[in-house]
């Protein structure tokens, strides 16, 4: 069976995968916060623009979590993988769960307070970043601890992560002409 949801015997030592995932919440939040300014600080470098928001569109702000979270999970696997006998399927499927859930939480929360309630708030914008990361990492931790995945799930997860990376890259330069991709300050799309 490709998915078996059952109790696991995952370790809980100081250098455990669970601690790595939870430590990601504050670290990814801090990195995401500063990522907002990196494109401008780089002198509008095209390479930096692939990884950091290039404008004030909602879509571009999803980069604040995508790239740092992807690097965090890859680094976690490299650092902890062998020592903790981490299953690549388990780890990267959990990573994919985090990468899919985070933007959904951010978008749902953002559009609830801006669209449904008509509230414009920088504090809520920043909180949406934290909320998305916390929910995504928490759910990914639960998946990592309690679900078991076959090797096929690894292939599917890696394909999804690659597709997301390509999408973020392509839409930096050629975004669809939808409100999600529109710079709220200039009214323009992409670079």
Output the average pLDDT for the chain: 92
- 7 φ, ψ to 5°? -60, 140
Domain spans in the chain, listed from the N-terminal domain onward: 11-181
| Cβ atoms of 25 and 133 closer than 8 Å | yes
**15 burial type by CB count under 10 A (0-12 exposed, 13-18 middle, 19+ buried):** exposed
Instruction: Decide: residue 158, CB within 10 A, 0-12 exposed, 13-18 middle, 19+ buried.
Output: middle
**What is the maximum span of the chain, computed from C-alpha positions, in angstroms?**
52
pTM recorded for the entire structure:
0.88
Interval 166-177 mean pLDDT: 96
Q: How do residues 126-153 score in pLDDT, each as one tens digit?
A: 999 999 999 999 999 999 999 988 899 9
Q: Which residues contact 71 (CB under 8 A, 6 or more apart)?
A: none
Confidence of residue 11 (pLDDT cuts 50, 70, 90): very low
Q: Give the pairing of strands 147-149 and 3-5.
A: antiparallel
Q: How far is CA 20 from the centre of its chain?
A: 15
């Amino acid at each position: 069976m490709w998915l078996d949801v059952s109790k696991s015997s995952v370790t809980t030592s100081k250098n455990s995968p669970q601690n790595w995932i939870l430590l990601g919440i504050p670290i990814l939040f801090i990195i995401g916060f500063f990522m907002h300014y990196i494109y401008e600080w780089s002198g509008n470098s095209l390479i930096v623009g692939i990884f950091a928001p290039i404008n004030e569109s909602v879509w571009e702000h999803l980069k604040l979590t995508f790239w740092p979270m992807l690097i965090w999970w890859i680094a976690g696997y490299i650092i902890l993988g062998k020592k903790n006998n981490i299953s690549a399927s388990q780890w990267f499927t959990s990573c994919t769960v985090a990468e899919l859930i985070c933007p959904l939480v951010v978008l749902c929360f953002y559009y609830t307070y801006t669209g449904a309630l008509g509230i414009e708030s920088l504090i809520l914008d920043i909180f949406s970043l934290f909320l998305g990361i916390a929910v995504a990492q928490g759910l990914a931790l639960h998946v990592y601890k309690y679900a078991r995945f076959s090797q096929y799930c690894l292939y599917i997860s890696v394909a999804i992560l690659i597709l997301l990376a390509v999408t973020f890259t392509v839409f930096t330069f050629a975004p669809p002409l939808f409100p999600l991709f529109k710079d709220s300050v200039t009214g323009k799309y992409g670079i």
